[in-house]
């Protein structure tokens, strides 16, 4: 399952970044998922819960997923447009554009600790 490997890669990243002691104090992981990334936030939640059930290492950590909008920057006028309904067109000059600046990413935005 696609989402399980994403959960694993998130956890691997955090385990490389933080000491085990710090991970014990972790209470929240904030993730940004672009609407074009093919990641379904609900499935990611399910995969996380399935991987880390009660009693396991990350069970005390809450996963927060924010879905980010698709944005393009126009090559002609540099205007940034938020894309609705997959209409990849500048809202200012109406030039079609595929110059994505947001919407494909999956990133760890913030990690929260209980100090």
* DSSP state, residue 79: -
**Separation between Cα atoms, residue 95 and residue 56, nearest integer Å:** 51
Closest of 39, 31, 33, 44 to residue 103, by C-alpha: 33
* DSSP state, residue 99: -
Q: How far is the CB of 74 from Zn ion (least distance, A)?
A: 3
Which range binds Zn ion by CB under 5 A, 8-16, 30-38, 40-48, 77-85? Answer: 77-85
Q: How far is the CB of 99 from Zn ion (least distance, A)?
A: 10
- List 1, 27, 77, 107, residue binding Zn ion (CB under 5 A): 77
Residues that bind Zn ion (CB under 5 A): 74, 76-77, 79, 90, 92-93, 95
């Amino acid at each position: 399952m696609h989402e399980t490997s994403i959960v694993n890669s998130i956890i691997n990243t955090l385990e490389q970044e933080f000491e085990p002691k710090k991970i014990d104090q972790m209470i929240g992981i904030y993730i940004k998922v672009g609407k074009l990334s093919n990641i379904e936030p609900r499935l990611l939640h399910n995969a996380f819960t399935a991987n880390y059930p009660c009693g396991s290492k990350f069970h005390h950590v809450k996963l927060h997923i924010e879905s980010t909008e698709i944005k393009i920057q126009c090559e002609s006028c540099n205007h940034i447009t938020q894309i609705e309904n997959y209409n990849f067109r500048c809202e200012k000059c109406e030039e079609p554009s595929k110059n994505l600046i947001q919407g494909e990413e999956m990133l760890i935005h913030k990690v929260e600790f209980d100090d």
